[in-house]
């Protein structure tokens, strides 16, 4: 029996199902039904408070994005994890099934990734960004004196194999993380990825570093115990001099440092 034939029956026992896969690989299933269901090897846990605000389909670009709302749950989607950014950019599928025969009807309603997340009291709303959101981006990058590539990506092409290292954290005070044996400034503008503890999987920006520690852009979302492992990746200030002198990669510099800017007419000798 096709999905259309099942939906045309006089009586249907319908339930929404959400499959959410975080960027760190953790995948959960939630359903609007009041009992758990197992479909395709994944357990969809009962979350009656989860509701899609609107789901529309068509051949146009309008209505491709939608919203998903639900209640905060300490063992599924917690407020702390939402605010820490664990669910940012998570892949999300919304499907329709029959709770009397889970999986027999498995109609895809929407697919995309979680965008902006807002909370109010004990509930949250998450924006679902569809494939059409990609078309809203710029066709060509804007010019800039700084490099637009990220260190190590396909545009930059710097080999990061020897520019990452696993470190043992000694202590954390606000945004200052004690790590010994570093080269001063090597990890400025880089990243720190937590490999253990309550922050495991979260990635934070590094503002600067000395020989015995790094300064993060923000304090860790959760407490960090001494001895926690983290992955440090080098960074770049996106300047041509750094690209050429430190990385020997000026040929791949993605910027226009010598292009006259908007202040050309206001320049004068000695300025």
Which CATH class, in words, describes the domain spanning 164-234?
mainly beta
pLDDT band (50, 70, 90) for residue 111: confident
To the question of domain 3-133 being in CATH 3.10.129, the answer is no
Position 47 scores a pLDDT of 79
Task: List, for residues 157-206, the tens digit of each pLDDT value.
Answer: 999 988 999 999 999 999 999 999 898 999 999 999 999 988 988 899 99
Q: How far apart are CA 84 and CA 150, in angstroms?
A: 23
Q: Where are the domains of the chain?
A: 3-133, 164-234
| Greatest CA separation for the chain | 83
CB-based contacts of 70-77 (< 8 A; 24+ apart in sequence):
70/30, 70/123, 70/124, 70/126, 71/47, 71/122, 71/123, 71/124, 72/119, 72/122, 72/123, 72/124, 73/47, 76/28, 76/30, 76/45, 76/47, 77/28, 77/124
Give the three-class secondary structure for 117.
Answer: strand
pLDDT band (50, 70, 90) for residue 61: very low
Between the CA of residue 189 and those of 83, 151, 174, 186, 192, what are the distances in Å?
A: 23, 10, 18, 9, 10
What single-letter DSSP state applies at residue 265? Answer: G
Both tokens of residue 164?
């990452």
Q: State pTM to two decimals.
A: 0.71
**Partner residues linked to 247 by β-bridges:** none
Taking the alpha carbons at both ends of the chain, their separation in whole angstroms is 77
Both tokens of residue 252?
């791949």
Of the candidates 244, 222, 20, the one whose C-alpha atom is nearest the C-alpha of residue 112 is: 20
Check: CB of residue 61 under 8 Å from CB of residue 54: no
Position 62 scores a pLDDT of 44
What single-letter DSSP state applies at residue 102? Answer: B
Both tokens of residue 136?
């809203």
């Amino acid at each position: 029996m096709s999905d259309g034939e099942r939906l045309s029956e006089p009586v249907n026992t319908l339930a929404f199902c959400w499959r959410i896969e975080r960027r760190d690989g953790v995948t959960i299933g939630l359903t609007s039904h009041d009992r758990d269901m197992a479909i395709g090897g994944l357990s969809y846990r009962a979350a009656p408070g989860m509701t899609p605000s609107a789901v529309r389909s068509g051949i146009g670009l309008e209505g491709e994005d939608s919203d998903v709302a639900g209640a905060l749950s300490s063992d599924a989607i917690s407020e702390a994890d939402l605010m820490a950014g664990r669910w940012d950019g998570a892949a999300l599928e919304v499907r329709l099934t029959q709770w009397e025969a889970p999986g027999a009807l498995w109609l895809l309603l929407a697919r995309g990734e979680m965008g902006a997340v807002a909370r109010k009291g004990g509930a949250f709303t998450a924006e679902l960004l569809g494939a059409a959101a990609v078309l809203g981006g710029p066709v060509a990058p804007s010019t800039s004196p700084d490099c637009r590539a990220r260190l190590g990506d396909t545009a930059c092409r710097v080999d990061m194999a020897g520019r990452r290292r696993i470190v043992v954290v000694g202590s954390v005070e606000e945004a200052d993380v004690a790590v010994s044996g570093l080269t001063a400034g090597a990890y400025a503008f880089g990243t720190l990825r937590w490999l253990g503890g309550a922050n495991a999987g979260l990635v934070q920006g590094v503002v600067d570093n000395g020989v015995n520690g790094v300064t993060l852009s923000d304090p860790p979302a959760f407490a960090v115990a001494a001895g926690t492992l983290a992955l440090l990746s080098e960074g770049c200030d996106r300047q041509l001099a750094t690209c050429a002198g430190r990385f020997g990669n000026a040929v791949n510099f993605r910027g226009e440092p010598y292009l006259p800017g908007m202040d050309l007419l206001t320049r004068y000798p000695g300025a």
